[in-house]
A = this chain, B = another copy of it.
Amino acid sequence: MKPDHFEKLLVLYGRKPVLEALMDASLDCRTLHLASSNRSAGILKEIVDYAKSRDILIREHTREALGRLSKNKKQDQGVALDIRCPSFMSIEQFLSAPIDSATRVLALDGVTNPQNVGMIIRSAVASGIGGILYPRKGVASLGPLVIKASAGTLFKAPIISCETLAPALRQCLENGLDIVALDGAAPDSLFGDRPSRAAVYVLGGETHGVSDATRSLATRSLSIPMAGGVESLNVAVTAALIGYAAQIAP
C-alpha cells in the first residue's frame, strides 16, 4: 500500500452507484465490501459478477462494520466500494509540491447542498481549476448525491482534503498563497483581476455565506459585478466564473 493510499481513496456506497462505478472501466476500483446480512437480490449478483470479472477483491463484513466503512449505515444498502481517485490529495501533499503562480483553488466553506457541491466540482474540473479544498466537516459529504450532480467528474477532481477549513487556509497562507473572499461590495472585480500568485477562492454556503473565521483570513476581496439589483449568484455559478475567469481574462 502506497503512503498516499488513504488520501486518494473514495468509499462509494449504495447498490446502484456501486454497480455503475464497477461498470465504468475508467475507474480504479479496489475493494468491494459487502454486509454479510445482505439478502440475495438481482442487483447484488450483478455487483458481485462485475467485481469478479474485474478481479476486484471482495470482502464480507458484519452489518455494523460495513456501516463504519461507508460512514453512512442508513444509506449504504449493505454495499461499499473503494475507488482510488488519482487526483485526490491531502492539504499537506498539495502544499509539499511546487505550486504554479497561476494556480486557482476553490475552498468550500459550509456548502451543504449536495446538488451545489456536485455542480461546483463539475464546473471546477471543466475549467481546469488547480484544486478544491474540501473540509470533512461542515460540507455535504462526497456521497451518491454529490457524485450524481457532478456528472461523474468527482472521480477525476483534484480534491484537497482537510479536517476543517480555517486551519487549512492558515497552512495555505503560510505557504504564500492568497486567500480571496468573494464579496459583492468589494471594489475590485474578479474579471479585471490579474493574480500575481496562487490563490484560494472561498465559496460560502447557501445560507450563511462565507464564515467569519474564514473572512478574517482573507488577504484580498473581489466582487462579481451584478446587474438588475441581483444580490448573489448560485454558488456553482460563482465557482464556474472563478474557474473560467483565468482562461477568459486578457
Contact = CB atoms under 8 A, between A and B. Distances in A.
A156 B226 CA distance: 13
Contacts of A230: 122, 125-126, 151, 153
Query: Interface of chain A, helix or strand or loop or mixed?
Result: loop
Interface in A53-72: none
Interface in A196-240: 224-234, 236-237, 240
Contact of A241 (B119, B156, B244, B249): B244
B191 A227 contact: no
Copies of this chain present:
2
A166 interface: no
Contacts of A128: 227-228
A233 B225 contact: no
A248 B228 CA distance: 18
B237 A153 contact: no
Given A126-B226, A128-B228, A191-B247, A234 B153 contact: no
Interface residues of A, number: 33
Contact of A236 (B227, B229, B234): B234
A42 interface: no
B227 A123 contact: no
A98 interface: no
Contacts of A227: 125-128
A245 interface: yes
A3 interface: no
Contact of A244 (B127, B191, B236, B250): B191
A119 B234 contact: yes
Contact of A233 (B126, B228, B232, B247): B126
Contacts of A236: 234, 236-237
9 contacts: A122-B234, A125-B227, A126-B226, A151-B232, A157-B228, A234-B236, A241-B241, A248-B248, A249-B250
Interface of A: 119, 122-123, 125-128, 151, 153, 156-157, 191, 224-234, 236-237, 240-241, 244-245, 247-250
